Amino acid sequence: MSKLTAVVKSKPKAKQYKLADSGGMYLLIYPSGGNYWRYDYRYGGKRKTLALGVFPDISLAGARKSHQQAIEAIASGQDPSATKKYDKLGRYLEQAND
């Protein structure tokens, strides 16, 4: 599968669409102008999607780095989506205790 080399701004389309990179990572483009990095993967026999960030805040290189970290987490037996949720919950609890 071909990898993205640069994100090209084009005329907005009526429906959302994906620009695929590789290994399940893609840029999801909404007609309203939102661009989101996503990674589709399977864990425990279920299809899951991990949000990697918002373009252009997260560059292609940054999204690929997060994608690689998620692949490594899956290989070590961890669900990256669950890890992200637990980390977020931990931050909220930490702020509540302050």
* Extents of the domains making up the chain: 17-97
pTM metric for this prediction = 0.82
Selected residue with higher pLDDT from 96 and 69: 69
Q: Which of 17, 34, 65 is nearest to 26 (CA)?
A: 17
Distance CA 80, CA 74 (A): 7
Note the pLDDT of residue 22: 86
- Can you name the residues that pair with 43 across neighbouring β-strands? 46
Topology of domain 17-97, CATH:
Double Stranded RNA Binding Domain (3.30.160)
Spatial contact of 28 and 35, defined as CB atoms under 8 Å apart: yes
- For the stretch 35-84, pLDDT in tens is 999 999 999 999 999 999 999 899 999 999 999 999 999 999 999 999 99
Note the pLDDT of residue 62: 94
What residue type is assigned to position 98 of the chain? D
Residue 28 has pLDDT above 50, yes or no: yes
